[in-house]
């Protein structure tokens, strides 16, 4: 059975490309003409793309490249005007591309606004993660956005220095008290806990201002990005439940009792951020109801079998914890 390298669903025989559903491919690339295989091998790509490098990610070693579609319908690196970001797996962390793609799909399955993404291939068939940029409108103009490190007026090195409670308070302040945006942020924290993503730091959450908005406040969070099953990587050096402490004043009595975060803690965080408990309970139940679909996405993914098993075990371990007190 072939699963789509975008949606992770079955690919019908009638599809233009054997590894992609037509609808999913067109949604990501706006056309079925785009070639899903890059013209360069990974080695050649690495040599020729240094001048296009846009930064790094996990442990500072993941190259990010801005991409555009040229007149030959090929995905190529560009210095400006790109509509996609390409993130090859670093040598230190094999299969990060497949990992991130799967983690992002679990976010989308829970109805969290999520950046469009998929997998394409180098000429030597290695899979590589690609995501559509969400900071531009149709005419190419950039939307104004700011990550939470910038919101705190801190340096990037301080991205782990605040709690999710403090970050939620900042989200509320930067959006002029929009509870729907704070609730969206809480959903993303719960998702990070569910999948064992302990790298959801302050730079991995950003706020965005709509094009027509001339106020100093932001309208929404950007689509979710940079989600990973970080526990899969033995050399990640992590092991924490979350990237940041959940509460600003340490651990709750419930945490001290159980030894891990439970639904009690997320309800406590919501109360501190002036969010009613009902939508938090509802989201926890949504996770429970969506568990078969989440596990199917992992099973259909292009991660190695051992990584699939680890990711599935993480969900099955964390869901009961999230339901305690719900």
| CA within 13 Å, CB half, 165 | 17
CA distances from 249 to 17, 114, 164, 220 (A): 53, 30, 11, 27
Tens of pLDDT, residue by residue over 259-300, are 999 999 999 999 999 999 999 999 999 999 999 999 999 999
Identify the residue whose tokens are 């998929």. 118
Residue 43 confidence (pLDDT) = 81
Contacts of 279 (CB under 8 A, 6+ apart): 183, 270
Tens of pLDDT, residue by residue over 157-179, are 999 999 999 999 999 999 999 99
Predicted TM-score (pTM) of the model is 0.94
Helix axes 305-323, 179-195, angle to 10 degrees: 130
Residue 54 has pLDDT above 60, yes or no: no
CA distances from 145 to 169, 209, 210, 221 (A): 18, 6, 9, 9
Residue 235 confidence (pLDDT) = 58
Burial of 26 (0-12, 13-18, 19+ CB in 10 A): middle
Residue 92 confidence (pLDDT) = 85
Residue 237 confidence (pLDDT) = 46
**Residue 46 corresponds to which tokens in the numbers above?**
């690495």
Q: Where are the domains of the chain?
A: 22-132, 145-323
- Specify the CATH class of 145-323 in words: mainly alpha
Residue 51 confidence (pLDDT) = 66
Tens of pLDDT, residue by residue over 100-141, are 999 999 999 999 999 999 999 999 999 999 999 999 776 667
């Amino acid at each position: 059975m072939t699963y789509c390298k975008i949606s992770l669903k079955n690919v019908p025989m009638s599809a233009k490309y054997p590894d992609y559903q037509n609808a999913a491919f067109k949604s990501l690339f706006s056309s079925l003409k785009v070639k899903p295989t890059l013209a360069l091998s990974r080695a050649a790509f690495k040599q020729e793309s240094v001048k296009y490098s846009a930064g790094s990610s996990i442990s500072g070693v993941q190259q990010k490249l801005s991409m555009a579609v040229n007149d030959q319908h090929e995905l190529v690196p560009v210095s400006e005007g790109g509509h996609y970001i390409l993130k090859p797996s670093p040598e230190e962390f094999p299969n990060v591309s497949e990992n991130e793609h799967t983690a992002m799909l679990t976010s989308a399955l829970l109805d969290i606004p999520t950046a469009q993404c998929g997998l394409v291939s180098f000429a030597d068939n290695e899979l590589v993660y690609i995501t559509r940029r969400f900071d531009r409108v149709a005419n190419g103009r950039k939307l104004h956005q700011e990550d939470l490190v910038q919101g705190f007026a801190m340096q990037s090195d301080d991205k782990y220095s605040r709690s999710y409670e403090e970050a939620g308070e900042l989200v509320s302040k930067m959006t002029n008290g929009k509870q729907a945006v704070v609730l969206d942020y809480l959903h993303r924290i719960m998702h990070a806990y569910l999948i064992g993503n302990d790298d959801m730091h302050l730079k991995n959450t950003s706020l965005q201002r709509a094009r027509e908005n001339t106020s100093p406040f932001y309208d929404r969070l950007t689509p979710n990005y940079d989600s990973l099953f970080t526990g899969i990587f033995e050399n990640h050096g992590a092991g924490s439940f979350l990237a940041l402490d959940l509460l600003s004043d340490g651990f709750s009595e419930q945490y001290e009792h159980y030894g891990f975060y439970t639904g009690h803690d997320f309800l406590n965080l919501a109360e501190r951020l002036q969010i009613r408990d009902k939508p938090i309970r509802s989201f926890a139940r949504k996770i429970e109801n969506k568990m078969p679909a989440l596990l199917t996405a992992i099973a259909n993914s292009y991660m190695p079998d051992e990584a699939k098993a680890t990711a599935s075990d993480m969900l099955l371990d964390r869901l009961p914890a999230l339901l305690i007190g719900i």
